[in-house]
Structure 1
Amino acid sequence: MKKIIFGCLALALLTGFSTGLSGCDVGSSSVSRSELKIGGKTMGTFYNIIVIGDYPGGQEQLRHEAEEVLDRVNREISFFDKNSELSKFNQHKSTEPFRVSQDVADVVIASLRAGKELDGAVDVTVGPLVNLWGFGHVKTETLPPTPDDSAIKAARKRIGLDKLHVSVGYSFAELKKDIPNLEVDLSTVGEGFGADKLAELMELRGIQNYMVSVAGAIRTKGLNSRGKDWVIAIEHPTAEQNVGQRLEVPVCTMGQAISTSGSYRNYKIDEKTGQRLSHIIDPATGKPITHHTVSVSVVGATALWTDAIDTGLMVMGSEAAIRFANERNMAIYTIVKEGNEFKAHYSRAMQKYLVCD
């Protein structure tokens, strides 16, 4: 689960909802258009929705339909719900094809594409390594503080995007694994997928101005209540890491999605060396990342895509990620710890999102 908080939604993500959400337009205090706001829990985190104007059936209908959408997402891709489609595939200890819904197939396809584009830097089968380092679903007290090379080597044999396959036909979709004990964890993309599904609901109901979020994955469209572009603030940490001292970098979303992967909130200290270990594991080495990039934010057309790619860019580190993004005209924003300072770097395509009227 990503721990980065977007400043405009900071209270929403920490406490579930903030009555002050209105697109971060701090230049004016008058609200010219009415808002509907709801929020709640999903996927072990929070969701929030702001609709400008009316919603068919009102606020309670919005809540009912939104939670119905998110419940369906959980039934499809939850790693924790043992009755979800994904969990049943993971329990399927066979290399025979396994039928899934089109939604599950779509999320896996997006994850495989992101992994291929990033040369394996993001891998939804990496769970055995995450568990090995004490950041996954296995109780950390049962694990050694620092895995040795033989344990890492053994875990790496159980992962790999090349061992996962998707087949889609006119009336079916199937997943297949090359090794029976391969497991897929879509937590790194689930929030983005959920945000996209909420955006689909808004489109279905004819809503032209909205902001939807699941944790740090956000979709916007149209204008906020003040008739201006939605602005999301990326949390910019300080050396002291005190909430009151956070800086916030405004990003004009321009009807796009935005998500962030970060490492400075979720880490542990190696008992032997005293080194800080990130929860983000590099599939190529089987070990936590060691560079000083602490977050990567991505702006793009869908939250599923930005959520699928931001973790891989974190694995690459700021310098390689910026180079990668510039070659592909991608909008990304990175924060790097340089000595006692945190400094921002961003791709050329990101510049237009950092200038808000």
Structure 2
Amino acid sequence: MSDYFTPAQHPVQPQHQPRRRRTGLAAAVVATSLLVGGGAGLGGAALWDATHDEPTGSASATATSTAPVSTQSQAPAADGSVESVAQKVLPSVVKIDVTGQGGGASGSGIILTADGTILTNNHVVEMAQGGGSVKVSFDDGTSADAEILGTDPLTDTAVIKASGVSDLTPATIGKSANLGVGEGVVAVGSPFGLDATVTSGIVSALDRPVNVGSDDQGNSTTYPAIQTDAAINPGNSGGPLVDMTGAVVGINSSIRTAASQSPYGSSGQSGSIGLGFAIPIDEVMPIVDQMAKGETPTHARLGIRITDDAAGAKIAEVTEGSTAAEAGIEAGDVITSVDDHRITGADSLVATIRSYRPGDSVTVTWTRDGKTQQAEVQLDSDATTG
């Protein structure tokens, strides 16, 4: 039986009638899968052995300020129970319904500002790009149309803006860096269309390299995920994973499935098997801020193409003039660590580099002909110039 990474997004069949909204607890959350196909609600499996970041498309938006940031991750919300966390988080989560040429799908989002700026997954809203529609439903049972402010396929994130709304409850943004393995977490969402579903569990692992596909230019969508056993199912994509203070520490985005059938379409969408993955909030908030301001998202890069190797990530190609080239890294070298992060393969290196920002200095360690070499490099940016 093969294992598949599938999007935790809920496909919507056109013939289905809209389901009844519940006042007060109508918020939603969504989880995607480890492999996201070209259309919303579809999952696919693919192997990506290279990382060569290229510029992404520009976003169009009005400058906004994002949600408050919490510096505390351990002090409990109210009595620290799952119930108290749910009561705090539910008003800040929305259900997102998307329609496009490929059909319809639903996911979730996290309210960032009182006037309707919302964070979600790119794969939740991508179907609506180029002529589709996006609608958000709020905790009080109301709904509004929304426009896409920006998308970033490389981190599987997107920012949308609900029209004509005010006085919403922004989520509190926490610090994913404060998480520890075994710590309690809560996920909120609409799995399989079931409104305001709350699940709880623990952090099962940190910095788990998760590859969910690629963008139009073949650059892999890979991130250092938070793994959790809190139940995440199709319909949870884009919603929050929160700590026991109710602060958002991740965006529920992927699930691991075990199925022998094709992972495409509803026939291949298995339920939770206790392997859910969330994008760490620390890594993506700078990109979210860029999209909210109408800027083109930027990403750190070494300027290399890589493949898996038993010892780490093997260099297949080095871009002339890149920071890797200036450091003396050559094709055939095997990168084994970046700072204190051990590199176990291509996805591991991509996920690690994506956790940094352009201009950050890192120490890269690699082997060549059995000898270890090391250099401090300043990471490049995929930002366009001129």
TM-score, normalisation: structure 2? 0.23
TM-score, normalisation: structure 1? 0.25
The structure with the largest strand share of the pair is 2
